[in-house]
Structure 1
Amino acid sequence: MKLKQDKQRILILGGSGFIGNALYKELLSYFEVYCTYCHQHGAFSENQVFFRYCAEEDSLFLLLNEIQPTIIISAFHGSNQALFEAHEEIVNYAMLHFNCTVLYISSSEVFDGKFQHPAFEDDAPLSASASGKLKISIEKLLLEQIPAQTAILRLPFVLGINSPEIVHLRQCIRHAATFDVYPNLVISATTINKVSQQIHFIVNKGSTGIFHLASNDMIHHEDLFMEITSKMGDKMPIFKSIYRRNEDDYQAILPKKNKLPDTHQITVSQVIEECSLKEEIISIK
């Protein structure tokens, strides 16, 4: 379904986080963008389009009514109860504003109770973790209450030059420290740059539904980080192999039904190439 394209006012909940801030930088030049941050941070508190909001302490009602967003991107963290109640407030707002679309950043965790096969968009979620169960409950809330206004964006491993996992890998390489790898864990992956471009495309098209914003192929967790490391140089960390099962454990999501155009797709080899490039200086606009 495509919604009518008016002037879009975007509110990114969690705009100070890894994913939220990348989206802010991607969308800022094209839309009227506002963000939230929770913990005090000078760079954000001094930015006039950033609003302080903590799910455990604040009601979203006043902020939503002040900004009047036409697109809400949910990429924030908090306690399980606070997050669910915040999304109930989002639903209440969207039910009163039919021109508002909600983009919920979910993840492969909604399938962590399954481990024999990769998961596609139409597969029924099943989680064994508290985090995965929460995401399932929020997905269900949005899809049942405001289905025509909801886009569920499930992410796999999200890497990138300045992603927490790659920064940690580089530190382990420098100090010959231990880096955990999972030889039997089969995953899909993507980069923060590709995710930002994909979500920009979804916003432009006004698309709703369930999307798996992941690579078109899979790789073992251990192989992924060994290949990234080998492309970075000759030094290696101490890879510590962790086995959770004797057989392969699939925590991979793959796009099938709602595939984006070829230019907005990615492969594991492209993820490896991007993650092995030189480090960039992290900047906050």
Structure 2
Amino acid sequence: MKRILILGASGFIGNALYKELCSYFDTHGTYHSENDFFENNHQFHQFDMETENIEILLENLRPNVIISALRGDFDSQVATHFSIINHILKYNSKLIFISSANVFDAFTNYPSYEYDKTLSQSVYGRFKIKIENALLRLPNHKYNIVRLPMVFGKASPRIKQIKTIIDLGEPLEVFPNVVINATEILKVTQQFHYIINRNRQGVFHLGSTDLIHQRDFINDLCVELGYENPLFKNVYDSNYDRFLAVLPKDNKLPKNLQITISQVIEASTRL
């Protein structure tokens, strides 16, 4: 049985991945802050990347697959991932790195595909690119880069934030000229399961197969959540449409593992 270690398994994405994979693999996870639930689960291990070296945990567990869903200080993340790279080069192990559509945020005229050149204007995007470039120098079987757009879901932080802002009577900041795609957490976990199970290699874009303007997407979400006339604050950062979307082309998943914008909205708002 494969042993999987999810770094950041107490977070939204990491915990959803743990729940999906734990019945099928010997799945372990890390958490940062003290938490009785995680402390009492022997599959969870406390890890602080700012003060600890990941090498000790990796040596003790010897996972076959490491999934990085870490958040936090960028410099600490970079150092941790370079330690992971040293480990997977020594052992029969691979890293699945969760990256972001922001690695393409300097390109605004078109959506981005798996093997397009990365270029970012944001600190966040450049940090993700630094780790991606280190992985791309490895043998193909040693890594996956999984780029995600915005991730929604019934209990997602983004849905909770939308509800809170509307309930407080505050305006939701929206971007009418930004064209996006999105995804939903349960579909993401199924996609990861498939990638691991089939030993798929390379770079994956796990966004919806279609695109939508960000304002329209948020409006449709609000309507499905029961808010008929939400208050919007329109932010125009360009006179033209600007794309921030990651579409699959080279590494497409089976039809049943693909998702559309309407399915994202439905899955994120159903009772």
Local SS of the residue matching 1:102: strand
Give the conservation status (yes or no) of the 8 Å contact 2:187–2:257.
Answer: yes
Aligned positions, number: 271
User: Post-superposition shift, 1:58?
Assistant: 0.6
Amino acid at match of 2:171: T
Q: Output the aligned Cα RMSD.
A: 1.2
Amino acid at match of 1:139: E
Matched, 1:243 2:233: no
Structure 2 equivalent of residue 158 of structure 1: 151
Structure 2 equivalent of residue 84 of structure 1: 78
Which of 2, 9, 21 pairs up with 2:3? 9
Q: Using the alignment, how far apart are the partners of 2:84 and 2:182 within structure 1? A: 29
| TM-score for the superposition, normalised by structure 2 | 0.97
Give the stretch that moved more between structures: 110-119 or 165-174. Answer: 165-174
Structure 1 equivalent of residue 111 of structure 2: 118
Q: Using the alignment, how far apart are the partners of 2:82 and 2:102 within structure 1? A: 21
The unaligned stretches of length 5 or more in structure 2 are: none
Give the stretch that moved more between structures: 226-235 or 215-224. Answer: 226-235
User: Post-superposition shift, 1:45?
Assistant: 2.1
Cα-to-partner distance string for 1:44-71 (whole Å, 9 max, x where unaligned): 2222111111111110010000111000
Give the conservation status (yes or no) of the 8 Å contact 2:176–2:214.
Answer: yes
Give the stretch that moved more between structures: 226-235 or 238-247. Answer: 226-235
User: Post-superposition shift, 1:146?
Assistant: 4.0
Distance verdict in 2 for CA 1:234–1:165, change over 3 Å:
closer
Structure 2 equivalent of residue 281 of structure 1: none
Q: Using the alignment, how far apart are the partners of 1:177 and 1:147 within structure 2? A: 47
Q: Using the alignment, how far apart are the partners of 2:227 and 2:11 within structure 1? A: 32
Matched, 1:204 2:213: no
Q: Using the alignment, how far apart are the partners of 2:157 and 2:235 within structure 1? A: 20
Q: Using the alignment, how far apart are the partners of 2:165 and 2:230 within structure 1? A: 5
Matched, 1:60 2:54: yes
Give the conservation status (yes or no) of the 8 Å contact 1:54–1:78.
Answer: no
Which of 20, 30, 41 pairs up with 1:36? 30
Give the conservation status (yes or no) of the 8 Å contact 1:184–1:220.
Answer: yes
Q: Using the alignment, how far apart are the partners of 2:256 and 2:94 within structure 1? A: 24
User: Post-superposition shift, 1:171?
Assistant: 2.0
Distance verdict in 2 for CA 1:175–1:10, change over 3 Å:
same
Amino acid at match of 2:63: P
Amino acid at match of 1:168: Q
Amino acid at match of 1:119: S
Structure 2 equivalent of residue 175 of structure 1: 168
